[in-house]
A and B are shown apart, each in its own frame.
Chain A
C-alpha cells in the first residue's frame, strides 16, 4: 500500500498544526508515503517554511498521486490528527479490498481524546477476548482500541442514512483505480465519482483519525463544496440521492451555524446564499423550509 496524503488547509494554513500532523504521519513508520500540501491560491509558504517542507519531502500543489499501483489517496486538513497504528490498520483492510473506497471513523478534534477513548471502550464488551476495555494507562487504551477494530463491507451505497459518513472530502481513502483526474482530490465530486464506479464502501469502525466537521468549522467552505456538484452530470440514480443529501446538509448547516459557531456576518451570508439556491426543501417545517418563507435578515434574527 502506498499512501498519498493530501493536506488541505482549513482556512489560513496553521503551520504549527501542520508540523504536528506531519510528525504523527512520520511516526507511523510507513516508508511509502507521499505528502502533498494543497495551498489555496492566495497563500504561499515563507522561505523557512518552504525549507522545512523540503526536509519533510512535502510536495506543494501536486494534483494527484505520482505513482498509481496500490496507491490510496487521503485528504486531511492540517488540523486533523492521525492516531497511532492508523496506517497499519488501513493497510490490512486495503489488502483485502484493494478496489474499494475506505471510509474512516473518526474521533472529534474538539474534545479530549482520552475521554473519547475511555467512553468508546466503555461501550463495548470484551467477552471472549483477552482485552481490557477499562484500561488504566494510555498504552492499554491503544491496545484495547486496536483490539476492537473491525470493518464492514457496505454495498448500500445510496443509503441516505450513511451517506454523510461517505460523502465528505476528508477521511476517505480513495484507491487509485477509482481516482478521477477531472476532479480535485479534495472534493465531493471526486468521492461521488468513486461511489458511482464502485460496488461497495469499506467502513473501518474504530476511529483512526481525529477530525473536525466541515459544516461546523467551515460552513461557507462546505456550502462551496456542496455547490460544486452539478446534479445533471451525475448518473440518473445518483441525482435524486444527491439532491436529498444536499437538502439534509443545508439543514445541518443552518442548524450548526445557528449555534453561533460562525460570526453574525458569516451567518447572514450563509442564509443569503442558501436562500439564493432556491432549492425546494423536502419538508416545509425544517429550517430550510422556513428560510424559503422568510428574508435572510429575519431568519438571522430568528435562528442566530
Chain B
C-alpha cells in the first residue's frame, strides 16, 4: 500500500465525507487506503460506500482533532500518510503525480500544494464536466495578489531526443522535467515556514512517524498540530511540494453556521495558541529550526496580537493578565535573534513583554493606530474620514433628536426612509433634526426642507452624524465598520419582499464575497428593528437573516402607504403632469430585471429591448404610453428617441412607488417590483422571453414562478400584445390567483404602515 489517507471528521460533517469519497474515486491511482476518524457508525454496505480501495473507520477519545488523527494513524499501513480534511478535496492527478517523483525519499516532508477556494467539490465537479480544459482549478479563494498566475509545464522524456548532441541528462533533472516540484533543503530548508507547518495536504512517511513516536496533541481543542508538525520538520531533511496545486482547501464562507476550526469562537484562543507554541518550541533541538519557529511565532504576534488587545477595537480576549503572563513566559524561550525579524515598534513591545509580564497598552494602541493611519496614507488619503469616525466622532456625545436616513446607499431620496421622513415632518414638525445621506449628483434631495441637512456619503459630516445621531433609518446595510453606540437606535426598513434567496439561504457560491454571510450577520445584530411587509417576509428573514422574529415590526412597508392613500388618484394626476404624460393616456410600466450576464465587457452592458416597442406603439399607441424603468447602467445606453412621445424613460426617476401609482398595467419579469404593484390590484404581465435560460436562477427563488404569480408568464411579444389587447380576460383568469397572492403578501398594507413603524420605533421619543 502506497498511501494512507487520514481524514478526521465530526459527526455533523458526515455528508462531506460522501462528497470526498466521490472525489477520491476519481483519483488516477487507487493504491491507497482511506482511514476516517469519526465517532459514529458508517454503513459501509451502502452502495455509496463501495470502492476499489480500502476504507476504514475508527473511533477516537477524547473527541478532539488531535485524537482523531492519532487514532487514524495507528491503523495506517501505507508507506505514506496523507492528511486530507473532510471538507477539502484532491485533484484527480494528486497522488499519481506524487507517485512519479523520485525525489520523495522517506526523510522528505511532502506537500500536495494547497489551493484555497470557496468552491465546494460538488460545484467544481460540475464546472469540470462542462469543459474540455484539463488544468482547471476552482475559483481562487486566497488573497488576490497571491493568486498563482503561471502554470508549470511537465515535458515528456522524448524531449531529450531533441538535444543537438547526445548527453547524459542527470536522472533527477530528467524526472523533474516530467514531474515538476519545488524542493528545498539545507540553508533554504526553513523558507516557506508557514506553508510547511500546515497539516492539510501534507505527505509524511509513516515509518518516520512511528520511529519517532510522533503524535498530535490530544488534549487541545485548538492547535493540535504545532508539536507534531515541528517534530516532523525536525526529523526530515527536505521539503518537497508539487509545483501544481493538487490539494483544494475549501474555505468556509458561513462561519456562523459552518465554522472551520480556525473560525470557532474561543475567547481563550490566544492562550491555546501560545500554549501549543510553548510545547512545540520546548522540544525543538535543532537551533535553526528553533530560530525559525520562534521567528514564525513572533511574526504571528506582530501581525495579529495587537489588534486583539487594542482598546480602540472590540476585544474578545479572556483574562488578559493571565495571557500576558503566559506570553511573557513563552518569549523567554524564543531566540533573541528572532526578535530582530520584526519591525522596530513591534520589537519594542515584544521586548517589554519579555522583560515584564505587564501589558504595554499605550504602545499597543499606538501601533494599531499607526497601522490605520498607514493604510490611509497608502490609499492617498482615502479613508481619512472613517479614521476620524473611529478615533474621535464616536467619542462625542449622542444627539438625542437627530435622525440619520439612507436609501439605497445614498443613490436617491426614496423608499421607506422617505415615507418615514415625510410622516415625521408632517406630524411632528420641529421635533427632530433630519439628516439625509445623498451621493453627489442626485437631483431630487430633501435639501432646503425644514430641519433637514443633506450630507455626502463618506464625507466628514456623514461620519459625524453617523457617530452621533441617536436614530438611524436605513433601507440597505450600514458600513461594516459602523459602531453601534449605547443609547442609539437602528431601524432597518429593508427594501422589498424577498424573491431571490438571501444571505444564509444562498449556496456557498464562489462569486459571492466570502465574508458576506459573516459580515451580514454582524451588521444585522446591530439592527434594533427590522420592518417587514408581510408574514412571508417574517418567515424568510428569520432563516435568511437569522434575525429574531421578536425584533421584526409586522407593519407593512411605509413606502407603500402612497399606494393605498385616499387621494391616490389626485396624486397620480399630479405625477403624470410632472412627467408630461397626457392625462388621457393609459400607462404601461415596463420594469424588467437587469441580466448581469448580458454584457459586452466591463462597464459595457448590452441592452437590447426584447419588448417590441415599435409594435406596441403601432397597435396600442392611441390608447397607451410606455414608461420604462430599467437598471441605471442600461439607462445610459438606451436610445429611445426613435419612439416619439410613446416611450417615457423614467429609469432615473427617484421614487418607483410614484410610477406604480400612475401605471395601469405592469410588465415585469424576475424583479420583485410586482409585490408592491399588486397592492393596486391592477393587471401584471410577466414577459419572460428567456425563461428556460433562467432556470438555474429560478431555483434560487422563494416563489414558484409557475404557480404563485398573480399574472401570466408570457414568452413572446405576440403573447404580450394579445394580453394587452384583452386585459379584462387576463384579470378574470387570474382573479383567484391575484386574491391568493394579495392575501399572502399584501394584507398588512392598509396605508398606515408608516404610523405603525414610527410609533413602535420612536415610541416615547415622539413626546418626551
Contact = CB atoms under 8 A, between A and B. Distances in A.
Does B bind A? yes
Interface of A: 27-29, 84-85, 88-89, 92-93, 95-99, 127-131, 137-139, 142-143, 146-147, 149-153, 158, 204-205, 235-237
A92 B183 contact: no
Given A92-B154, A97-B133, A130 B163 contact: no
Contacts of A137: 167
Nearest to A237: B600
Interface string B164-190: 110101101100110000111000100
Given A29-B162, A88-B158, A149-B155, A131 B173 contact: yes
Contacts, number: 93
Contacts of A130: 170, 172-173, 176, 183
Contact of B162 (A28, A93, A204, A236): A28
Contacts of A84: 162-164
A96 B131 CA distance: 11
B134 interface: yes
Given A127-B188, A130-B176, A147-B176, A97 B135 contact: yes
B156 interface: yes
Given A27-B162, A236-B600, A237-B600, A88 B173 contact: no
Interface in B717-754: none
B41 interface: no
A133 B150 CA distance: 19
18 contacts: A29-B161, A88-B158, A88-B159, A97-B133, A99-B133, A128-B182, A129-B182, A129-B183, A139-B165, A142-B163, A143-B173, A146-B155, A147-B173, A150-B150, A150-B152, A152-B151, A153-B151, A237-B601
Contacts of B161: 29
B542 interface: no
Contact of B151 (A88, A139, A151, A236): A151
Contacts of A205: 150
A163 to B, nearest CB: 14
A86 B177 CA distance: 15
B155 A143 contact: no
B153 A150 contact: yes
Contacts of A98: 132-133
Nearest to A131: B173
A153 B170 CA distance: 31
B687 to A, nearest CB: 25
A95 B172 CA distance: 25
Contacts of B176: 129-131, 147
A88 B155 contact: yes
B694 to A, nearest CB: 22
B167 A139 contact: yes
A95 B601 CA distance: 28
A151 B177 CA distance: 15
B604 interface: yes
Nearest to A240: B604
Nearest to B148: A152
A99 B131 CA distance: 10
A96 B135 contact: yes
Contacts of A127: 184, 188
B153 A149 contact: yes
A120 B169 CA distance: 21
Contacts of B164: 84, 138-139, 142
Nearest to B153: A149
Given A128-B183, A138-B164, A147-B176, A88 B135 contact: no
Contact of A237 (B155, B173, B604): B604
Interface residues on B, range: 20 to 34
A3 to B, nearest CB: 15
B204 to A, nearest CB: 19
Given A27-B162, A85-B159, A237-B600, 11 more contacts: A29-B161, A89-B153, A89-B155, A92-B153, A92-B156, A95-B134, A96-B133, A99-B133, A129-B183, A149-B153, A149-B155
Contacts of A97: 133-135
B480 interface: no
A86 B524 CA distance: 58
B133 to A, nearest CB: 6
B604 to A, nearest CB: 6
A166 B515 CA distance: 37
Nearest to B150: A150
Contacts of A149: 152-153, 155
A33 B515 CA distance: 52
Q: Which of A28, A128, A204 has the most CB of B within 10 A?
A: A128
Contacts of A158: 601
A235 B159 CA distance: 41
Nearest to B161: A29
Given A85-B155, A88-B155, A205-B150, A139 B163 contact: yes
A98 B165 CA distance: 32
B303 to A, nearest CB: 25
A204 B164 CA distance: 22
B221 to A, nearest CB: 36
A205 B153 CA distance: 10
Interface string B131-149: 0111100000000000001
Contacts of A153: 135, 151
The 5 closest A-B pairs by CB, nearest first: A128-B182, A237-B600, A84-B162, A150-B150, A85-B162
Q: Which of A98, A137, A149 has the most CB of B within 10 A?
A: A149
A99 B132 contact: yes
Nearest to A87: B162
Nearest to B185: A128
Contacts of B172: 130
A96 B604 CA distance: 31
Interface in B671-695: none
Contacts of B156: 88, 92
Contacts of A235: 600
Contacts of B151: 150-153
A156 to B, nearest CB: 10
Contacts of B152: 149-150
A96 B135 CA distance: 6
A38 B164 CA distance: 29
B600 A143 contact: no
B85 to A, nearest CB: 26
A187 B150 CA distance: 29
B149 A93 contact: no
Contacts of B150: 150-152, 205
B481 to A, nearest CB: 32
B391 to A, nearest CB: 40
Contacts of A88: 155-156, 158-159, 162
A151 B167 CA distance: 27
A99 B130 CA distance: 13
A84 B164 CA distance: 8
Contacts of B132: 98-99
B176 to A, nearest CB: 5
Contacts of B162: 27-29, 84-85, 88, 142
Contacts of B169: 143
A48 B211 CA distance: 75
B182 A151 contact: no
Contacts of B165: 139
A46 to B, nearest CB: 31
Contacts of B163: 84, 139, 142-143
A292 B163 CA distance: 53
Contact of A146 (B159, B184, B600): B159
A92 B179 CA distance: 13
Contacts of B188: 127-128
Nearest to B167: A139
B657 to A, nearest CB: 36
Interface in B533-567: none
A240 to B, nearest CB: 10
A29 B163 CA distance: 12
A247 B694 CA distance: 41
Interface in B182-218: 182-184, 188
Nearest to B154: A92
